[in-house]
Structure 1
Amino acid sequence: MKAIGIGIIGCGNVLDAYLPQCERLESRGAARVHVACGRPAQRERALGLGARRFTTNENDVLHAPEVDLVLILTSMPSHARLTREALEAGKHVLVEKPFATTLEEADSLLQLATRKQRHLACAPFTTLSPTFRSIAQIIQSGRIGKPCSARARYGWAGPSWADWFYKPGGGCLFDLAVYCVTSLTGLLGPVHRVMAMTGAAIPRRMIEGRPTAVEAEDNAQVLLDFGDRCFGVVTSGFTMQQYRSPALEIYGTDGVVQMIGDDWDPDGHELWENRVGAWQVFKETAPDWSWTDGLPHTVQRLREDKTPEVNPRHARHVLEILLAAQRSGASGSAIDVISRFDRAPCAPLPGSDPAHLQHDRSRPHPPEH
């Protein structure tokens, strides 16, 4: 199988997380990073992280004949435009979240990807983690009975290096809650209705030493109606200094399952079954799994001429939920969610060592050959 040619647009902080994946792909002959595009000040950083060629012109990536897959790691408001231009250039696209900030943009991109017969892989990739799949299998097998309620949370004190996080097109819903909503809908299916409370709890922020007015929500509580009287709540914000309790929990009629750690950085799971009458703790079996796993997954599927498992219609549904939360937060009313997506059954990922055989989290499991 040929190596997939990769071009990167965006050489900011997120690039640090993706380049190790690129290095592993290159070492296996699966992919090759040909060119990276960023601001002039990012040249040395991008080249030092492994890009072969650097440019400040997006078109040098979009129209490079050796590039099969464009990796978009720019600020959120630019994602839709760059995704459109890459698809129009005939490239497959992996784009960080959210892939669009309006439903009109999202629908247009899905139609364009179909028309161009290109794959569109949209972050976040929480549904690819082995821990997510283990929890999904527990739910699907009925071990906790009928799911009745759910809770998910992701937040921190907030970025201090760029003001676009706090401007229209940014905010904690698009940047943080998107993970929680992706995971909950991946486990429980589409949402039918949304109600939310949102606001700017900290109206001014210090960004690179300058005071900046906050124009997007930095604090949100989102209530989700999954139908059949199953409800969930997402807590998110640039207002959380730390937390220690599980970041995702599903409560059923016969038990409870909860993820240890964040859904983008899981550390195992815990299970209560009424028939057992005790908490069961399951150690993380893929300690080296990364939230950037969508890249090696997409590369492998492209090499196999298969569709990536991450469904862009799922990402579109999540976007509709986040936009509904914004509208609900402003109006105080519940908002119906119209779209649906097909939720594929989660199959176990092969190759993980049993938990008792893993002792060094710095090494891949199983070891790469």
Structure 2
Amino acid sequence: MTTSPSARIGIIGTGAVFPAYARGLAALPGLTVVRVADLDEERSRTAAAEWGIPAWGSAADLLADPGVDVVVNITTPAAHAALTDAALEAGKHVYVEKPLAVTTRDARRNIATAERTGRVLGGAPDTFLGSAAQTARAAVDAGLIGRPFAATSFVRSSRAQTWHPDPTFLFKPGGGPVLDWGPYHIAALVNLLGPITRVVGATANAELEIPVTAPDRRVERIDVEVATHATSILQFTSGVLATAVYSFDIWDTDLPHIEVYGTEGTLQIPDPNHFDAPVRLKRRTADEWTQLPPVLPLSRPDTGDAGIYRGLGVQDLVGHLAGDAHRASAGLALHVLDVLERLQDATLADGVADIMSSTQRPAPVRGVVPLAG
């Protein structure tokens, strides 16, 4: 019987995504959360008590703790880069929530720090490691849709202003639909189709001031400082062209999250913000859609809600420390950020923008059952 690689985890940040990490990491073998930190130390104490985490305090306390092997950085995007550098300098391996940093310049500095310190840096999103994305990947690899030649990727508003007590950061630099939701979609597309070489697009704003209606809101209105609607065309190294629309302004739609079009059929991929959901296939000669069998066991740990936890990327980093491939790597996260940075800044006057970074298509997850072609 094999044992899972183990590591002691320290989490910095106790905001809205913290429960998803606390729940997910607690369900993954070998990963033990030993300390939590926050700018508001009282919040860290409360989080530690709620989730049975033995130590709490400031970020400095956590970084100085020799009992922490891996730091999980789930602070707001604008704080990612500086805190990641500090953790790497403190001798910790680091896994960062998306995006890796607010700019590719900061992200490249983080990667350089990891290389200099001999530490491993990984980054979200990790949802492409789940059953749905791996099933879609297996279908493409098995040739079930023939040769892929096009794709679509669509994001509507998360309506954060109706449920988040203070979604201000989503409408400031580092936020917007491109950097908030885009990482899930671009990582999913790179997992399916490989790296992206060129993009062209344009952005807009439907509103420049957002009313916040969340019942427990801490702010009433938000001044918008980033584009909240982006439309683009992505060209992959393979020649595939994808059309992407990422928007906080579109409230409702029936469009699919992601579809990949091949010479022999169409593959429909569910919300890439989640790990588990059905993947559908309609071959050129078929009259009906079929649901593909999952190639991995469903990854949700308890309640059956596919979107209520995180942690597979941390498990991936720890597995890499033990010799496995690094799938949710800093290199992948940088490439995703590079693409998104170009999309966020795109104007029609700029024309086509080359993507300066590249990456390897991540290796399939261990244990994937191949699909028959």
Normalized against structure 1, the TM-score is what?
0.86
Q: What secondary structure does 1:308 align onto?
A: coil
Considering Cα pairs closer than 8 Å and 6+ residues apart, tell me whether 1 or 2 has the greater RCO.
2
Q: 1:337 aligns with which of 340, 355, 370?
A: 355
Q: What secondary structure does 1:192 align onto?
A: strand
Tell me which residue corresponds to 1:24. 27
CA distance in 1, matches of 2:291, 2:219: 44
Tell me which residue corresponds to 1:91. 92
Tell me which residue corresponds to 1:362. none
Tell me which residue corresponds to 1:184. 189
Number of matched pairs: 347
Query: Aligned-pair distance for 1:88?
Result: 0.9
1:1-369 aligned within 5 A: 3-25=6-28, 28=29, 30-38=30-38, 39-42=40-43, 43-55=45-57, 57-155=58-156, 156-159=158-161, 160=164, 161-207=166-212, 208-227=218-237, 229-276=239-286, 278-282=288-292, 286=298, 288=300, 290-302=309-321, 304-329=322-347, 331-346=349-364, 349=367
CA distance in 2, matches of 1:325, 1:146: 26
Q: What secondary structure does 2:160 align onto?
A: coil
Aligned residue identity for 1:198 = T
Q: Deviations over 1:198-235 (max 9, x none)?
A: 12222111343422210012221221111454210222
CA distance in 1, matches of 2:78, 2:223: 18
Gaps (5+ residues) in structure 2? Answer: 213-217, 301-305
1:41 to 1:236, Cα distance in 2 relative to 1, 3 A: farther
Say if 1:47 and 1:53, in contact at 8 Å, map to a contact too.
Answer: no
Normalized against structure 2, the TM-score is what?
0.85
Q: Deviations over 1:144-173 (max 9, x none)?
A: 111111011233223442312111222211
CA distance in 1, matches of 2:7, 2:311: 17
Q: Deviations over 1:175-219 (max 9, x none)?
A: 111111111122111111111221222211134342221001222
CA RMSD of aligned residues (A): 2.4
CA distance in 1, matches of 2:14, 2:348: 34
Gaps (5+ residues) in structure 1? Answer: 353-369
Say if 1:130 and 1:349, in contact at 8 Å, map to a contact too.
Answer: no
CA distance in 1, matches of 2:117, 2:324: 16
What is the aligned-residue identity percentage?
28
Q: What secondary structure does 1:33 align onto?
A: strand
Aligned residue identity for 1:5 = R
Say if 1:149 and 1:230, in contact at 8 Å, map to a contact too.
Answer: yes
Query: Aligned-pair distance for 1:307?
Result: 4.7
Q: What secondary structure does 1:313 align onto?
A: helix
1:283 to 1:169, Cα distance in 2 relative to 1, 3 A: same
Q: Deviations over 1:284-303 (max 9, x none)?
A: 5516265532123333443x
CA distance in 2, matches of 1:95, 1:198: 27
CA distance in 2, matches of 1:172, 1:243: 16
